[in-house]
DNA sequence: ATGCACCTTCCAAGTATGGTAAGGTCAAGT
DNA sequence: ACTTGACCTTACCATACTTGGAAGGTGCAT
């Protein structure tokens, strides 16, 4: 199976498969004489695992850990659960922060008539006063798995 | 006023002030003979505006637009409101997506005993089935204004 | 044999921010 | 005058993930 087939079978783009290989997330597969990567169903399975973990917002580093646990037949489910709970906490924190930003903006927008006149409480709100967040946002606040994937053709 | 003073007065780091200048978000200020940037209170006001817009999750490009509206005395508040409403929609969409990821993970974690045994529904959930999101996440899904600012000393 | 789709590697961009290095400048103290 | 320390300058690197492109090789069907 060439990289293209593996890509469509796993839902991970060929580009990303090479990238995951480079950063050591997946093993380098055998090569044909011409140097083409050759994948098996097991590789596709791995890639799907990665894909799903990315979909859940795990970073590449975390997925490395998850893969380790996946392969470790003697793993303790507690270890996996801890990672999952940490991730849930982070995700919810990020979601809350975004919602707060939206709410702040909403309260400004609610006061805005939104007509042809120049008076605008939103602009005024941006102009005046203290910074809106004094809180230090958590590192890794953003959603790191921004998959700016073009629609599949 | 040197860049350091402008930074602490506006809440934008010196680093970012230079960056905003480079990308054309703020005007290049006058320089002293020694080449130091020299800021006035008006510049600080501008920078504060930028800071607040960033806090609300607007991207640099969007802030460029907002600044245009800010300076435009004949602006229609409707134009500003539309940008705000768009932003609110995006923020809420991102928040929802994050929450969905958290919920999916929660449902997996809820089934996990979290003990010393290797059986783990989370791993099993990652392993099996279809990709968790088929939806193409919106470009700019992540929170772009990750201000990973070290705690102010 | 030609063309087209696919593969390869390497390099770059974009986003917003921080870090570091190497050097110039300023103001205060000696 | 000289030193010191804080501040400034530019330039480049790193982060995390993903895409895009260039330049060239390969495989298969017509």
Residue % of chain B over a pLDDT of 70: 84
Beta strand A30-31 pairing with B37-38: unpaired
CATH no. for A3-56: 1.10.1660.10
Contact, B97 vs A87, CB < 8 A?
Answer: no
Supply φ then ψ for residue B30, to 5 degrees. Answer: -65, 160
Q: Tell me what pLDDT residue A133 has.
A: 53
Contact: A109, B81; criterion CB under 8 Å: yes
How far, in Å, are A47, A81, A89, A117 from residue B104 at the CA level? 19, 13, 13, 46
CA angle (A137 as vertex; A135, A141 as ends), nearest 5: 160
Q: What's the pLDDT tens digit per position in B77-105?
A: 999 999 999 999 988 988 998 898 888 88
Contact, B91 vs A99, CB < 8 A?
Answer: yes
Angle (deg, nearest 10), helices B41-55 and B14-22? 90
Residue nearest to nucleotide C7 (CA to C1'): A36
The pLDDT of residue B20 is above 90:
yes
Interface residue A67 vs chain B (CB under 8 A): no
Over its length of 153 residues, how does chain A's per-residue pLDDT go in tens digits?
999 999 999 999 999 999 999 999 999 999 999 999 999 999 999 999 999 999 888 999 989 989 988 888 889 999 999 999 998 998 898 899 889 889 988 988 998 988 999 989 888 888 775 655 543 333 333 343 443 333 222
CA distance A18 to A22: 6
For chain B, the first-to-last Cα distance in angstroms comes to 21
Contact: B139, A127; criterion CB under 8 Å: no
Q: Tell me what pLDDT residue B129 has.
A: 57
For B3-57, give the CATH class: mainly alpha
Q: Which residue of B has its CA nearest to A147?
A: B137
CA distance A34 to A38: 11
B129: left (phi over 0), alpha (psi -120 to 50) or beta: left
């Amino acid at each position: 199976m060439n990289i293209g087939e593996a890509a469509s079978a796993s839902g991970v783009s060929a580009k990303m498969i090479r990238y995951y290989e480079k950063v050591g997330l997946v093993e380098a597969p055998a090569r044909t004489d011409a140097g083409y990567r050759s994948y098996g169903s097991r590789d596709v399975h791995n890639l799907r695992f990665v894909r799903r973990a990315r979909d859940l917002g795990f970073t590449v580093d975390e997925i490395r850990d998850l893969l380790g646990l996946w392969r470790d037949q003697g793993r303790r489910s507690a270890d996996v659960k801890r990672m999952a709970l940490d991730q849930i906490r982070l995700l919810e924190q990020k979601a809350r922060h975004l919602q707060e930003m939206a709410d702040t903006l909403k309260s400004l927008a609610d006061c805005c008539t939104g007509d042809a006149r120049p008076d605008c409480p939103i602009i005024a709100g941006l102009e005046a006063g203290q910074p809106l967040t004094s809180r230090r946002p958590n590192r890794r606040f953003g959603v790191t798995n921004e998959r700016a994937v073009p629609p599949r053709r």
